[in-house]
Amino acid sequence: MISIKSQRELDKMRKAGEVVMLVHKRLEEMIAPGVTTKELDRIAAEVIKSKGAVPSFRGVPCPYGGIDFPGVICASINNEVIHGIPGDRVLEDGDIISIDTGAILDGFHGDAARTYPVGSVSPDALRLISVTEEAFNRGMAQAVEGNRIRDISRAIQNFVEENGFSVVRDYVGHGIGREMHEEPQIPNYVSSYRGVRLTAGMTLAIEPMVNAGTWQVSVLDDRWTVVTADSSLSAHHENTIAVTDKGPEILTALY
Binding site for Mg ion (CB under 5 A): 111, 205
Closest approach of Cβ 180 to Mg ion, in Å? Answer: 7
Nearer to Mg ion, 57 or 165 (CB): 57
In the complex, minimum distance from the CB of residue 82 to Mg ion, in angstroms, rounded to a whole number: 9
Residue nearest to Mg ion (CB): 205
- If you count them, how many residues does the chain have? 255
Q: Are 99 and 85 in contact (CB under 8 A)?
A: no
Q: For Mg ion, give the closer residue by CB, 9 or 100.
A: 100
Q: Tell me whether residue 205 or residue 227 sits nearer to Mg ion (CB atom).
A: 205
C-beta closer to Mg ion: residue 125 or 205: 205
Judged by beta carbon, residue 22 or residue 205, the one nearer Mg ion is 205
Q: Kindly state the smallest distance separating residue 160's Cβ from Mg ion, in Å.
A: 18
Q: Where are the beta strands (DSSP E) in the chain?
A: 54-55, 73-77, 80-82, 96-105, 108-117, 166-167, 173-175, 182-186, 203-206, 209-211, 217-219, 226-228, 234-236, 239-244, 247-250
Q: How far is the CB of 202 from Mg ion (least distance, A)?
A: 15
**Residues 81, 233: Cα–Cα separation, whole Å:** 8
* Pairing assessment for the beta strands 226-228 and 173-175 based on DSSP bridges: unpaired
Q: How far is the CB of 207 from Mg ion (least distance, A)?
A: 5
**DSSP summary character for residue 41:** H
